Structure 1
Amino acid sequence: MRLDNMLIAEGVAGPDKSTPVAPENGADQTDYRAKLAQIRNVYHSELEKYEQVSDFKA
């Protein structure tokens, strides 16, 4: 599976980035959701940096 498809499927990237894909329930998924939130934050931070550099050069 490609990384971009995985990020879209997990709700990290795509048109509606703020809405979780699945409802947050189940204590066994706490670590998974925490890691996903961390990945989401890094992704958006890096995307913002990229967009700032792209706007600067244009």
Structure 2
Amino acid sequence: MNLADCVRAVIAGRAAARAGEPVTACPYDPDGSTAVERAQARLWLRGYDRENPANIDYSE
């Protein structure tokens, strides 16, 4: 995996969040058999979260 692959995964995650797709639309397996696939899943999810952060209620 090179830097371009990393950037593409983040951008794809952001685009998915903007398009209203669910976080489960991640095309990479976070439990994949290779470190590359796991890293791409993490980067995709990071991009998704940057665009659509999870709402956490700390009031309770």
TM-score grouping bracket, smaller chain normalisation: 0.3 to 0.5
* Larger helix share, 1 or 2: 1
Please say which structure displays the higher CA radius of gyration: 1
Normalising by structure 2, report the TM-score: 0.40
**TM-score, scaled to structure 1:** 0.41
- Higher RCO (C-alpha 8 Å, min separation 6): 2
